[in-house]
Amino acid sequence: MHEAEKIIAQLGLKPLPHEGGFFRQTWIAPLQPGETRAAASAIHYLITRDAFSALHRLAMHETWHFYAGDPVRLVLLRPDEGIERVTLGGDVLAGQQPQCTVPAGIWQGARLVDDAKHGWALLGCTVTPAWDACDFMLGEREGLQREFPAAADEIARLTR
């Protein structure tokens, strides 16, 4: 069994439909009186060379946290500002970021860096308000390439 498979088993991760990768919800804020939706939720999330986070956008803010494995290239497509690339990782002195918050409505996708040595990365994602599938939209390659032509190659790598 490969290291990624051992981590998936140890943490009880399951395939994440549509987006890709493997996940397990680890926390959800308790509902407060009068609320119909929890304030926040968190997951463990693992990606591999083949199981990347496809471009998607959420109706809520999402904070990515790096835990272990290879650095991850997080690509953000901002309609008015263009492309932002963030490298999530543990080597802060080399410019890697241990966390990054993606504002609601921004296209986002992530994959391992090209020179990945382990073949996996363990991350955490926290969303506020709490996760609800109705707030998820999967990116469509051709439409995103028309909207962000400067990122056409990255869009191709981050869509299925």
**CATH number for the domain that contains residue 10:** 2.60.120.10
Asked if the structure places residue 84 within a domain, the reply is yes
pLDDT score recorded for residue 1: 64
pLDDT score recorded for residue 80: 86
**Which distant-in-sequence residues (6+ apart) come within 8 Å of 59 by Cβ?**
104, 105, 135
Question: Which tokens hold the place of 101?
Answer: 């918050």
Q: Mind listing the pLDDT tens digit of every residue in the chain (160 residues)?
A: 699 999 999 999 999 999 999 999 999 999 989 999 999 999 999 999 999 999 999 999 999 999 999 999 999 999 988 999 999 999 999 999 999 999 999 999 999 999 999 999 999 999 999 999 999 999 999 999 999 999 999 999 999 9
**Counted domains in the chain:** 1
Q: What are phi and psi of 145, to 5 degrees?
A: -65, -35
Q: Are 44 and 9 in contact (CB under 8 A)?
A: no
Half-sphere exposure of 103 (CA within 13 A, CB side): 6
| Backbone Cα Rg of the chain | 16
Asked if the structure places residue 11 within a domain, the reply is yes
The residue length of the chain stands at 160
Could you tell me the pTM of the whole model? 0.95
Asked if the structure places residue 53 within a domain, the reply is yes
Asked if the structure places residue 136 within a domain, the reply is yes
Asked if the structure places residue 8 within a domain, the reply is yes
Asked if the structure places residue 33 within a domain, the reply is no
Dist CA 83 CA 60 (whole Å) = 19
Asked if the structure places residue 45 within a domain, the reply is yes
Asked if the structure places residue 151 within a domain, the reply is yes
* CA distances from residue 48 to 30, 80, 83, 133 in whole angstroms, order as listed: 32, 31, 23, 23
pLDDT score recorded for residue 91: 98
Residue showing tokens 């028309």: 146
Give residue 57's domain range: 3-28+38-157
pLDDT score recorded for residue 20: 98
